[in-house]
Every structure is written in structure tokens, then in C-alpha cells.
Amino acid sequence: MLNRLQDKIAVVTGAGQGIGAAIAKRLSSEGAKLVLVDINEDCLKDISGKLDTEALCVAADVSNKDQVFAMIAQAKDTFGTVDILVNNAGIIRDGFLAKLSEDDWEKVIDVNLKGPFLCCQAVFDIMKAQNSGKIVNIVSRSWLGNIGQANYSASKGGLVSLTRTLALELARFQINVNAVAPGLIGTPMTKSMPEEALARLLRMQPTGKMGSVNDIAAAVCFLSSGDAQFINGQVIHVDGGKSCGLLSL
């Protein structure tokens, strides 16, 4: 394993399971110290015990401004700075337009779009002061559009726009802002999907199988490292080619 993130301080939201846990493990394996954030604190202890480096566990809801700013303040008190922010926490509340409730719309936009906005705002002063930083937003191939996911696709499309805009705004402070767009990945989130919906998604998958959490973690690690110093405002699709177009069967 490379050692590209030696002693960097990385905040990963939604780190308690799935893709976030894999990202935390990968960043740690390359030398970063971790701030593990999740709404459910119990699962963080388990992950922190499996890391190669020091970790701070913080329970926070990314859609709550006070909790986000307190979490970043705690990270700074503990480690002195924040070098890397990975906005990974996200939720799904799927439904076709006529049945999508206002609550499901608001909840998904709050966690998936407002959450990353608040986290970026909270780390900005720290990264600006040190004139360096890496922000990686976890979007989804669904940002291109996906039936039954109006709320989720809109939240991820909004996050792509936020990524591109902040890339322009923050470049002068040597802060890179990029996004990783996973395709279908085996995690508790996908396991919670109805069997029929999952089978349909697999039929549309060029590779015919789901990707792994480690595929996403590798892309995030690259974008968090000096290897990606001149990459800014980009979306890397890690989806087995699904974003390239329709698969004719």
C-alpha cells in the first residue's frame, strides 16, 4: 500500500458502515488520522478499532448546522487541523413522483445536499488558513437521472453543482473539490432496496455485478492525495461503465 496521506487529518461522514467505513479504512491504511462521523455512534467504535491510525469518533447529524460546526471544532481541538473532508453520509427515500411525500423530499435534500454544504462551510476557515485542503463529495451515478429517485437524483445533481462551484471558489486557497459517483455498490443501503428494484438495476449494469466499497475508497484516496493536485471540480464515475449510456440487451 502507498503512504500518500501520512499524518493528514481526514473527516469522513457516514463512516459507520458501507462505503464510508471502507473510505475510512483506506485513508487510514495510507497514513491519515481519522475523524469518523455518523448519526449512529455505536457503529463507529467498531470501525475505529479496525484502523491503522488514531481516530476520533463523533456522533453528528450532517444536516444539523450546530452539530456539524461542533464536530469540526472537536476535530481541530483534537488533531490541530483538517486536511481532507469526505462528504459521504447519504440516504435514500425512493418513490415515484405522485407518491413521493414532501417529508421524503426534504429529508433527502437535507442530508445529501445541505449536509455537505454545511460540512464544507465548517472546514473552510481551517483549510483557507493552511492554504491547502481536499474535499471529496460522494454523489451517485443517479445524478444523471434515475426513475423512482427524483429526490435522491436531485440531491446528487445539486451536489455535483456544489462541487463544481466550490472548485472554482476555493481553488485560490489551494483547496481541491471533486466528486466520486458510485454506481451500484454492495452496502447496507443497497441491501435495503426491494429485491425487484435491485434485480432491475443489475440488469442495467454493464458488468452484470455490483462494485465493491473498496472500488470507491480507492478513488476517494486518490482524489485526497497529492497525486490529484491539479484535478479540480471533476466527477469520477466508479460505476463499471453504466454512466456511458444505455445497455441494449
Sheet of strand 33-38, all strands in order from the earlier edge strand to the far edge = 55-59, 33-38, 9-13, 84-87, 133-138, 175-182, 235-238
Task: Decide: is 187 part of the binding site for ligand NAP (CB under 6 A).
Answer: yes
Task: Decide: is 47 part of the binding site for ligand NAP (CB under 6 A).
Answer: no
CB of 91 to ligand NAP, least distance (A): 5
CB of 70 to ligand NAP, least distance (A): 13
Interface segment toward ligand NAP; rule CB under 6 A; list 35-43, 50-58, 98-106, 126-134? 35-43
* C-beta closer to ligand NAP: residue 31 or 68: 68
Residue of 48, 53, 88, 149 interacting with ligand NAP (CB under 6 A): 88
Question: 3-state SS string over the chain?
Answer: CCCCCCCCEEEEECCCCHHHHHHHHHHHHCCCEEEEEECCCHHHHHHHCCCCCCEEEEECCCCCHHHHHHHHHHHHHHHCCCCEEEECCCCCCCECHHHCCHHHHHHHHHHHHHHHHHHHHHHHHHHHHHCCEEEEEECCHHHHCCCCEHHHHHHHHHHHHHHHHHHHHHHHHCEEEEEEEECCECCHHHHCCCHHHHHHHHHCCCCCCCECHHHHHHHHHHHHCHHHCCCCCCEEEECCCHHHCCCCC
Task: Decide: is 149 part of the binding site for ligand NAP (CB under 6 A).
Answer: no
* C-beta closer to ligand NAP: residue 13 or 28: 13
Task: Decide: is 133 part of the binding site for ligand NAP (CB under 6 A).
Answer: no
Interface segment toward ligand NAP; rule CB under 6 A; list 88-96, 117-125, 160-168, 221-229? 88-96
CB of 207 to ligand NAP, least distance (A): 13
Residue of 3, 96, 125, 188 interacting with ligand NAP (CB under 6 A): 188
Task: Decide: is 145 part of the binding site for ligand NAP (CB under 6 A).
Answer: no
Query: What pairs with residue 136 in β-bridges?
Result: 86, 178
- Examine the residue annotation and report whether 57 is marked as an active-site residue of this protein: no
Residue of 189, 198, 204, 218 interacting with ligand NAP (CB under 6 A): 189
List, in order, residues 6 or more apart from 167 with CB less than 8 Å away.
Answer: 176, 177, 178, 232, 233, 234
Residue of 2, 6, 7, 40 interacting with ligand NAP (CB under 6 A): 40
CB of 230 to ligand NAP, least distance (A): 25
Interface segment toward ligand NAP; rule CB under 6 A; list 48-56, 61-69, 128-136, 240-248? 61-69
Cα 34 off chain centre by = 15
Binding site for ligand NAP (CB under 6 A): 13-14, 16-20, 38-40, 61-63, 88-91, 111, 115, 138, 140, 182, 184-185, 187-190
Catalytic residues: 152
